[in-house]
Structure 1
């Protein structure tokens, strides 16, 4: 006979590298989210927002960057925010009719970028009230990190430009298995064409901030072949960072044999890149 489930029952604590962290679910600004948080009583010393790829969902990113939440012994950790991108996961029912596959991707990107400030405001309001001093006296004083894979890479490359204007300066960004070329002949909607033309990284890279950026790709990626996507994107960023005298802020990585996925080595590179911007304990 199986005993009935009781949510108050004790359960295994999730661990990363032997260190505990917490997982909670919230709807913030209308966006279903999962959060990986440091253990109770430990301060949140950074916020990392992780955006998934097309036709995926927030659950697929659980545990990938949980080491940031587990943090350092006694030194707090990052809050890792995993939102469902617009039209994805729990939000698929919002998809407007008549979109082709590429328009679906870019409508998701456009909406996800537009809602990001409200998402962060809602996180600030709810978690400052719920967790109090664990989120520091001024939550915005914690560095904001962005990580995005594939379609999520489109999102974070755009947000590192737009969020500062909304009062959320971005400290570090990791754009993975993605592209800044944004040549999309199948995207015909005027509002989506306007979005592409306004934010296309290789076109507007000189206008972008030169805050630290990790651009990482798989050398065997069939979705974004290296020569057609990573190479021109990296070249554009490299020129912009060099012109600003901030060469060290750009980290370019490619991984042999890796396709369109976040490999263990790529994950480790992201963690090392972000940890380099964590405040001292």
Structure 2
């Protein structure tokens, strides 16, 4: 030990040589993993990251941890929830759903429970947490969630500062979804129809050019066009990105673009993210 510093200190999660913490919490009844700044440092933003269909919160660990590591004076609290009917919550799945109804049942429930999740986060981090910026990131099915939340959370008094919707779609053509409450959800929030209903806060729409699930022509292009019309001439606040050679996953460059969009810079983990989503 030299100067009170062990020669071989505890191994801790690091991003770019900066530490962060990982804890498990249940926030508003939702099982979550949290990536947090080191003990004693301020939480400067809340970033809720939603995974894709048939995935779990664990698959997002480390992907956006650079936001938590910060620069030594504070960082974001990165909140990784299990979407409804996923991960620890699979047992809640009602019987009789087809695959697409399963996806949209998860989306609708995840959207409905988001205010309680954020109330739990505010209780966890104290009253000041309600005054820091709220960022949303969602990939694939999670992109459905965050595109909806950027409208519904402000209606609930929870303003969203920035939203990143990745490898996703706003078209929402779902002939296999027959349940009346899910049809009503689709019709009420379909982005290509209702893009202008949400506050015009900054939005990143990012897609892989080789995505076999959501092709650019069928999904990214009409979704981007709807948002372009909503944001108006100049499109200030709307960022559209596509990534050559990237399929249905969050690539390193897409992740870096998301970090930069959220204000987290480009400090990233040394290994590529394990972040492939199934939907």
1:220 and 2:218 matched: no
**1:138 offset after TM fit, Å?**
2.0
1:275 and 2:266 matched: no
Q: How does 1:23-172 map to 2 (within 5 A)?
A: 23-73=22-72, 75-128=73-126, 138-172=128-162
CA contact (8 A) 2:66 2:264 kept: no
Q: For the residues of structure 2 that align with 1:246 and 1:58, how far apart are their CA atoms? A: 36
Normalized per residue, the structure richer in helix is 1
- The count of residues paired between Structure 1 and Structure 2 equals 257
Q: Which runs of 4+ in 1 moved over 4 A?
A: none
**1:239 offset after TM fit, Å?**
1.0
1:249 and 2:247 matched: no
Partner SS state of residue 105, structure 1: helix
Q: Unpaired runs of 5+ in structure 1?
A: 1-9, 129-136
**1:127 offset after TM fit, Å?**
3.1
**1:156 offset after TM fit, Å?**
0.1
CA contact (8 A) 1:210 1:246 kept: no
**1:276 offset after TM fit, Å?**
6.8
Partner of 2:246: 258
Partner of 2:228: 238
TM-score of the superposition, structure 1-length normalised?
0.89
1:229 and 2:186 matched: no
Partner of 1:132: none
Q: For the residues of structure 2 that align with 1:169 and 1:85, how far apart are their CA atoms? A: 21
Partner SS state of residue 123, structure 1: helix
Out of 258-267 and 116-125, give the one that drifted further. 116-125
Partner SS state of residue 91, structure 1: helix
Q: For the residues of structure 1 that align with 2:259 and 2:198, how far apart are their CA atoms? A: 23
1:211 and 2:201 matched: yes
**1:126 offset after TM fit, Å?**
2.9
Q: For the residues of structure 1 that align with 2:157 and 2:142, how far apart are their CA atoms? A: 21
Q: For the residues of structure 2 that align with 1:42 and 1:61, how far apart are their CA atoms? A: 23
Q: For the residues of structure 2 that align with 1:241 and 1:95, how far apart are their CA atoms? A: 37
Q: For the residues of structure 1 that align with 2:26 and 2:10, how far apart are their CA atoms? A: 23
CA RMSD of aligned residues (A): 1.3
Q: Unpaired runs of 5+ in structure 2?
A: 1-8, 266-279
Q: For the residues of structure 1 that align with 2:209 and 2:238, how far apart are their CA atoms? A: 19
**1:158 offset after TM fit, Å?**
0.1
